[in-house]
Amino acid sequence: MNKIGNIGIFTSGGDSPGMNAAIRAVVKAAKINGIKTTGIIKGYEGMIDGKFVNIDEQAVNNIAHCGGTILRTARSSRFLTVEGRQQALGNIQNEGIDALIAIGGDGTFKGLLAFSEISNLPVIGIPGTIDNDLTGTDFTLGFDTAVNTALESIDKIRDTADAHERIFIVEVMGRDAGYIAINSGIASGAEGVLIPESTADIDRLINMVKRGWKKEHSSLIIIVSEGDETGAAEVAHQLKHIDETFDIRITILGHVQRGGNPSYADRLLGTKMGVIAVKALLNNETNKMAGIVRNQMILTPFENVVKQHTIDKDMFELIELLT
């Protein structure tokens, strides 16, 4: 492998808190090794359109605490085509980039695998998604911050729910996975948690409500993942069917969970993964994702990085015990 002199870095897909911390770490680790860093604006779209910017230490000195991504992000349908990837490769070569680091989810890494069919550039991925649903890492960038953001909102909702003896159904993000719902639900003391990985959770909730929730609770907080097959509106409908006098409110937290300053955990995780990504390139690694498993940094081939839909048995037991 030729000596690396210029690393291209980009963020792709949904943004997540901690991306900027990872960008900062890559730039600093690259500089120590005498390597230039080039930012690619708006991910694969920027590759195709030739949107490149030099990133030095001064540009990243005060970004670790910022949410979002200074490189911006996008999803690209053009990169799905061979023509789009060839256009991107030509621009990268013209820019003198000889290695890539991508921060994103499984779609980002699938794009890099397809890119490797026409390019021999070494590439390393960093998992950036609030859903925490990738194999090859215990935690993804943004998950901890997203859960804490949801938790803060749920705690405030509990105050007004208690004051009015209401049922609040809170929808959190998680189109394909229920990790945000489970963790925020358990930590907030919610009385119900509904996730895509389980079809029995709605029955458990209905049975609990039928037993007479007001005997033990002044209010109910029910957390519903946006990807749950029942959905917040249907949960409200079924509860109203039990008793029309129930005072029910639905709160959808939405994209507030993506924004905000990253937590300590996400800043540290982004920093560690950024440094590991640069080291991996220097060790001639390619087409692998940096991850943390049992507090150890590892590399997982892109073809083995897939969305996981299996909730830990212990977490299911906690839900059944506490909700």
Mean pLDDT of the chain: 92
The CATH number of 6-142+262-304 is which of 3.30.1330.10, 1.10.10.60, 3.40.50.720, 3.40.50.450?
3.40.50.450
Q: What is the mean pLDDT of residues 147-173?
A: 94
pLDDT of amino acid 210: 87
Element (H, E) at 6: strand 6-11
For residue 2, pLDDT beyond 70: no
> Positive or negative, the Cα torsion across 280, 285, 291, 293?
negative
pLDDT of amino acid 313: 75
pLDDT of amino acid 217: 79
Same fold flag, 6-142+262-304 and 143-259: yes
Residue 220's beta-bridge partner residues?
Answer: 167
Q: Which two tokens stand for residue 150?
A: 């949801």
**Cα→Cα distances 273→32, 298, 308, Å:** 16, 10, 20
Q: Which CATH class is domain 143-259?
A: alpha beta
Confidence band (pLDDT; 50, 70, 90) for 200?
confident
pLDDT of amino acid 63: 96
DSSP secondary-structure letter at 128?
B
pLDDT of amino acid 309: 67
Rounded-to-5 percentages of helix, strand, coil across the chain: 45, 20, 35
pLDDT of amino acid 311: 75
Q: Domains of the chain: which residue ranges?
A: 6-142+262-304, 143-259
Q: Which two tokens stand for residue 298?
A: 């590892």
**How far is C-alpha 5 from the chain's CA centre?**
30
pLDDT tens, residue by residue, 272-309: 999 999 999 999 999 999 999 999 999 999 999 988 76
Where do the H-state alpha helices sit in 119-259?
A: 143-164, 179-188, 201-210, 232-242
Q: What is the mean pLDDT of residues 231-240?
A: 93
Close Cβ partners of 77 (under 8 Å, ≥ 6 residues apart): none
**Closest by CA position to 319, among listed 219, 151, 208, 183:** 183
For residue 1, pLDDT beyond 70: no
pLDDT tens, residue by residue, 261-273: 999 999 999 999 9
Using a pLDDT cut of 70, give the percent of the chain over it.
98
For residue 119, pLDDT beyond 70: yes
Active site residues: 131
Close Cβ partners of 75 (under 8 Å, ≥ 6 residues apart): 12, 13, 43, 107
pLDDT of amino acid 267: 98
For residue 98, pLDDT beyond 90: yes
**What CA–CA distance (Å, rounded) separates 78 from 72?**
17
Q: What is the mean pLDDT of residues 122-151?
A: 96
Q: What is the mean pLDDT of residues 183-195?
A: 92
**Cα→Cα distances 170→147, 188, 192, 231, 300, Å:** 13, 12, 10, 10, 35
Q: What is the mean pLDDT of residues 204-213?
A: 85
Strands 192-194 and 99-104, by their bridges, are unpaired
